[in-house]
Structure 1
Amino acid sequence: MMRTSIFAALKGSLRRAEQWYLQTPDRALDLAYDAALNIKAIEDEHFGGKKIARDAGTLSASAFAYFEADLRRHLRTIRMRLTEFRRSRSTLNVTNPNKVAAGRSVRTIETTAIGSDRFVPTVRDQPAIALEKLKFIDSILARYAEQNLTLEAVSTSMISQSYEEEKRLSKTGQTPPDKKNAPANPNTSATGSEDFESITDKTGLLPRSILTTLSRLKRDLDPNSETEVVQTYRVSKVRTLISVRFILTLILVPLLVQQGVRNLVLTNSLPPGQWISQQFSLETPERVFLNSEMTEEALHELQRFEERLRFENLIKETLDQREFSPAEVEERAIQRSEVVEAQLKEKAIEVAANFSVQSTDAIKNWVADIAAAIAFALVLTNSKREVEVVKSVIDEVAYGLSDSAKAFVIILFTDVFVGFHSPHGWEVLLDNVARHFGLPTSRDFSFLFIATFPVILDTIFKYWIFRYLNRVSPSAVATYREMNE
């Protein structure tokens, strides 16, 4: 129940954060529109509906300075919110086109007061309302375009044209050009989409370098190439930010879940941790050791301690024979024997307590790691589009390296994981994993794993070189072969 409530609360928080993110453009536009309305209210109330200027009214210098400060603040708000509106809207069109459309389609009109926080336009009325707000903001900014205010007016003509196009298309029942190819299901994998097409899917008969050169020449001769370059840069920037954010999420969420479950939920101060610790307490000696390997290790440790004590006593007994009489030597030997037995009992309890802790930690590691794996799977299943974006960015980075860099990375990877010296590393890794989960170390399993898994990795890697890299970058393959020889 506790785990269900935690996941329910986390899911609710993520849903609220996503809803807040989808409403960012509308919220920013409303704040900019409210700031413009405030400027209009000051004009109507104190300057006779004219522009806020010193010669527009009969106010004193102090009063005008007060309204001028308000004007600067409202203009700054308009500039910041319009920038937020433009950037968030372009980002949403790239990252969440289906969710934005779905979020708009469920809206209804509750009041008709334009600019009120209670106004929620429908999908048909939203472009028209937004266009009216942008035109009103432009009219306010146009009045103060020539005034020396340390703030520059933000032009919204491109945004207005975009909304006019959406309004025209919504009236005619057509689909916007940027949404014609959008998948109907937002959860559908985007492997076939053109926005984030993987470079590995672009392999053809000609080498990629020739096709890239021809595409670059065609783009340079295009009169609209500058606009396309700017748009490509913006899309690339958004994709990079999404990739970095998703990779950090993919790393931090399972790590935080694992540490939280291990160090908070399974502590001895809470019932789950107490129950696990009681299963391997010293009160039940038959459960102290999780497996037979722990028992053997404890016996070896106790035997080494006993042998060391008996060796020390043997040395002391030899020295006593030189200094004391036989009766005194025998008495001192009996005393030392009793001391050794007491020390052995204390050491046995200490060893059992240490292995009890190791057994308890192994079970807790199982629970914490399973929770982390579930969190990792949930992040992956709920972020299919982000996975495609990360895949495309990784492909661009990998295939964008120089030939020597590609060959260097390939050789480094193969030598570390499938090289002739890698079995020692795999053996250490398997031993640490077995110790982490409290499993007995099997030499047969380790040797079988080392004999098969690196071979499978090497086969997959060679197939990738033959299937993809040899078509995309033949020169990199040639460089790899020369460096490997």
Structure 2
Amino acid sequence: MPADSGRAGAGAPGPAGGRSSAELGVGEWGTQSWYEDWDPSVRYSPNQVDRIADEGADRFRKLTQNTGPRDKWITPLLDWDAVREGLDPDQERSEQMITGEALVNKEESQIAVRYVARLIGIPLVTGFVISRALADPILNFSLRNNPDAFELSEMQKVEGAEAVHIEETRLRLDMAIGRAPPMTELQMFEHLAEFAAEVQEEERHHNETILINAVSDSVSFATFAGILAQPTRSREATKNTLARLFYGLSDIAKAVLIILVADTLLGYHSEEGWHGLIELVAGHYGIEPSEEGVVIFVGVVPVIIDVLFKYWIFIGLNRISPGAVVTIKVVDRH
């Protein structure tokens, strides 16, 4: 494909009827089929090339009249469009349609892989760099120079007191059985004071790590949302690829995949999983979840997800794959 010369469409007549190259549509650059390149004497800008590629993809998708979902209440006994396409005497047209659609799907799959890699890699790298290059040095400086920074919470103080009490009990047991030399009360107090200072310092470092995690995750989430919100061709290609992969599964495979996801999130073992997930997320950010809040969350959120899931099965999946819906109903009965 010729490189952009910077003079495309700038007043020079194009190869199709005296129009400029910017006005050219699909199949108007001097070729006779989709697997031939355009006239090398014509220069195209990257925007023109992208527009031609998008128009080509749309045209190939429109060649097949059987793309849209049928009405969910009317299912014809005989698909006349499929019969007409199967008996199409224009073999060259059919071959070009199949070849072109395969090329479009292949290109979309490659674009989708690169887009997903960027969608995952860029936010992670950005959050890591921001947290380590900016947040970590600033918070370390504050930790070393400000004794009141990253003060312990009430729960941390209680846990620290329990750790000191356990250390005292351990020392007294060792002295009683002769595994440690006897200590006076003053020596015991000094040892426990030193141990308590170590516990406090560890908890302060833990609070610093929690704040760094919050900064890193916030930057990563903002970057992820910014990339995902951009209406780019890569996002559409990824959406088409995922839809093609799902629709390409058999009805049984669709049903098994849906049942697996539903039972994982909403099965009778899911309550323990939700509890573990809440504790993991809360511990990552240093939050102390209350028991009442956890019970309300586990009792409400899975129910909402279950309702939305069933609504999607009834409205969406029932139109695109009725066989999968029937399989799911049969499995639910057993």
**TM-score bin (small chain):** 0.7 to 0.9
1:251-285 deviation per Cα after TM superposition (whole angstroms, max 9, x unaligned): 111111121122333233xxx33355358x5x22x
Q: How does 1:243-258 map to 2 (within 5 A)?
A: 243-258=112-127
The corresponding residue for 2:28 is none
1:38-60 deviation per Cα after TM superposition (whole angstroms, max 9, x unaligned): xxxxxxxxxxxxxxxxxxxxxxx
The corresponding residue for 1:371 is 219
* Mapped partners of 1:126, 1:381: distance in 2: 38
Does the 8 A contact of 2:274 with 2:298 survive in 1?
yes
Name the CA shift for 1:210/1:311 in 2 (closer, same or farther; >3 Å).
farther
AA aligned opposite 2:119 = L
Structure having greater relative contact order (Cα 8 Å, sep ≥ 6): 2
Q: 3-state DSSP class of the match of 1:288?
A: coil
AA aligned opposite 1:263 = R
Instruction: Say which of 144, 160, 166 aligns to 2:39.
Output: 160
Deviates more, 1:397-406 or 1:336-345: 336-345
**Is 1:388 the counterpart of 2:219 in the alignment?**
no
* Mapped partners of 2:212, 2:117: distance in 1: 25
Name the CA shift for 1:254/1:415 in 2 (closer, same or farther; >3 Å).
same
* Mapped partners of 1:207, 1:444: distance in 2: 49
Q: How does 1:425-440 map to 2 (within 5 A)?
A: 425-440=273-288
**Is 1:300 the counterpart of 2:159 in the alignment?**
no
* Mapped partners of 1:402, 1:226: distance in 2: 25
> Equivalent pairs: percent with the same residue?
26
Gaps of 5+ in 1: 1-24, 31-106, 108-119, 129-155, 167-174, 183-193, 321-331
Name the CA shift for 1:209/1:474 in 2 (closer, same or farther; >3 Å).
farther
Name the CA shift for 1:208/1:311 in 2 (closer, same or farther; >3 Å).
farther
* Mapped partners of 1:200, 1:421: distance in 2: 40
1:106-165 deviation per Cα after TM superposition (whole angstroms, max 9, x unaligned): x5xxxxxxxxxxxx343442745xxxxxxxxxxxxxxxxxxxxxxxxxxx965139969x
Name the CA shift for 1:215/1:251 in 2 (closer, same or farther; >3 Å).
farther
- Work out the number of aligned pairs and report it: 302
Instruction: Say which of 417, 425, 450 aligns to 2:298.
Output: 450
Gaps of 5+ in 2: 16-34, 45-50
Name the CA shift for 1:217/1:432 in 2 (closer, same or farther; >3 Å).
same
Higher normalized helix content (fraction of residues): 1
Name the CA shift for 1:305/1:218 in 2 (closer, same or farther; >3 Å).
farther
Instruction: Say which of 420, 424, 430 aligns to 2:268.
Output: 420
Instruction: Say which of 257, 262, 265 aligns to 1:409.
Output: 257
Does the 8 A contact of 2:57 with 2:104 survive in 1?
no
AA aligned opposite 2:87 = L
| Superposition deviation, residue 311 in structure 1 | 2.5
The corresponding residue for 1:219 is 85
Instruction: Say which of 61, 64, 71 aligns to 1:204.
Output: 71
AA aligned opposite 1:202 = P
* Mapped partners of 2:169, 2:326: distance in 1: 62
Q: 3-state DSSP class of the match of 1:398?
A: helix
The corresponding residue for 1:131 is none
AA aligned opposite 1:255 = L
| Superposition deviation, residue 432 in structure 1 | 1.4
Name the CA shift for 1:420/1:177 in 2 (closer, same or farther; >3 Å).
closer
AA aligned opposite 2:313 = I
Instruction: Say which of 466, 479, 482 aligns to 2:314.
Output: 466
What's the C-alpha RMSD, in Å, of the aligned pairs?
3.8
| Superposition deviation, residue 287 in structure 1 | 4.2
Does the 8 A contact of 2:251 with 2:323 survive in 1?
yes
| Superposition deviation, residue 465 in structure 1 | 0.7
The corresponding residue for 2:247 is 399
Name the CA shift for 1:385/1:314 in 2 (closer, same or farther; >3 Å).
same
* Mapped partners of 1:200, 1:341: distance in 2: 80
Name the CA shift for 1:207/1:376 in 2 (closer, same or farther; >3 Å).
farther
Q: TM-score, normalised by structure 2?
A: 0.77
Does the 8 A contact of 2:130 with 2:216 survive in 1?
yes
Name the CA shift for 1:180/1:475 in 2 (closer, same or farther; >3 Å).
closer
